[in-house]
């Protein structure tokens, strides 16, 4: 019984001795990293006993490129130490401000992780939405318009940036437009709306929106088949014919099959 209790205690004490025997220090190259900098840190691993240490240096960021994991081995005598440098990704223009973690993960002779926080300080992106609408209130976004109608441009953002747009017509003509503002869709076809926005302390914003302009509104015609003087008359109707039904009359559904049957019957009477 005593032996069963002593063995776990000995194991715990041994692990504490090993943990105390390994010392890890992480020294970031800078307190804050900006655009163009390479994420990097120096590290030192020392040991009070002779042992082989297997470890992985790394930098992890929530929304930035990270480097490959590389396992390293150090054979140290008592009182020895090794120093190294870890280099991660270069901070590019599109990287957002965030906090990263530099770490040394010990795999052997124990499992332990030492961490230190790093800061990426860059300009945040503009949070902006460009709407194309049929009126200046712009309650609903629209991407299809009729030739000759006005197209309204509205920018929605919490930080009130400076916004401008260039309209590229179907024939290639370019026209600058203020935002908020409007332009007349004088040609039918596909338009490109190139939008750019800026504000001090933020990344520049650029986006292209496509809209379609049709020649005229299209209404699906209905065919009215009737018999007059022994001849079939086909008369296009651009508004669906309606008739008054009694309030208690059930709605009558006409299937495609019955419709085709009626049409065939009309022509059979003619021929």
Q: How confident is the model at residue 184 (pLDDT cuts 50, 70, 90)?
A: very high
Q: Does residue 8 have a pLDDT over 80?
A: no
- Across 9-23, 125-139, 169-183, least confident range: 9-23
Q: Domain limits of the chain? A: 2-120, 128-214, 222-270
Q: CATH says 2-120 is which class?
A: mainly beta
261 — pLDDT class (breaks 50, 70, 90): low
Cβ contacts of 197 within 8 Å, gap of 6 or more = 126, 128, 155, 157, 161, 162, 163, 164, 204, 205, 206
How far is the C-alpha of 186 from the C-alpha of 180, rounded, in Å? Answer: 19
Give the separation between CA 158 and CA 145, rounded to whole angstroms: 28
Q: Say whether 128-214 and 2-120 share the same fold.
A: yes
Q: At the topology level of CATH, where does 128-214 sit?
A: Immunoglobulin-like (2.60.40)
pLDDT band at residue 264 under the 50/70/90 scheme: low
Give residue 221's pLDDT band: very low, low, confident or very high (50, 70, 90). low
Q: Taking Cα atoms as reference points, which of 169, 149, 150, 146 lies closest to residue 216? A: 146
């Amino acid at each position: 019984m005593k032996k069963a209790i002593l063995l776990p205690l000995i194991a715990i004490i041994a692990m504490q001795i090993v943990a105390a025997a390994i010392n890890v220090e992480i020294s970031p190259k800078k307190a804050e990293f900006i655009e163009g900098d390479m994420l990097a840190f120096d590290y030192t691993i020392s040991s009070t006993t002779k042992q082989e240490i297997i470890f992985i240096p790394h930098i992890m960021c929530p929304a930035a490129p990270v480097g490959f994991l590389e396992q390293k081995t150090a054979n140290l005598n008592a009182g020895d130490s090794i120093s190294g440098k870890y280099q991660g990704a270069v901070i590019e223009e599109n990287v957002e401000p965030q906090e990263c973690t530099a770490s040394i993960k010990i795999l052997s002779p124990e499992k332990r992780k030492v961490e230190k926080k790093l800061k990426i300080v860059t300009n945040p992106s503009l949070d902006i939405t460009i709407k194309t609408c049929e009126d200046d209130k712009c309650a609903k976004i629209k991407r299809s318009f009729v030739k000759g109608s006005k197209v309204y441009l509205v920018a929605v953002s919490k930080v009130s940036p400076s916004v401008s747009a260039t309209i590229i017509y179907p024939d290639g003509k370019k026209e600058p437009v203020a935002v908020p503002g409007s332009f007349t869709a004088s040609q039918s076809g596909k338009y490109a709306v190139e939008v750019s926005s800026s504000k001090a302390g933020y990344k520049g914003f650029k986006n292209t929106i496509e809209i379609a302009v049709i020649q005229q509104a299209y209404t699906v015609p209905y065919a009215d088949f009737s018999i007059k003087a022994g001849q079939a008359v086909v008369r296009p109707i651009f508004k669906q014919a309606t008739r008054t039904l009694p309030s208690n009359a059930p709605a009558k559904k006409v299937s495609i099959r019955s419709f085709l049957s009626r049409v065939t019957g009309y022509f059979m009477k003619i021929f």
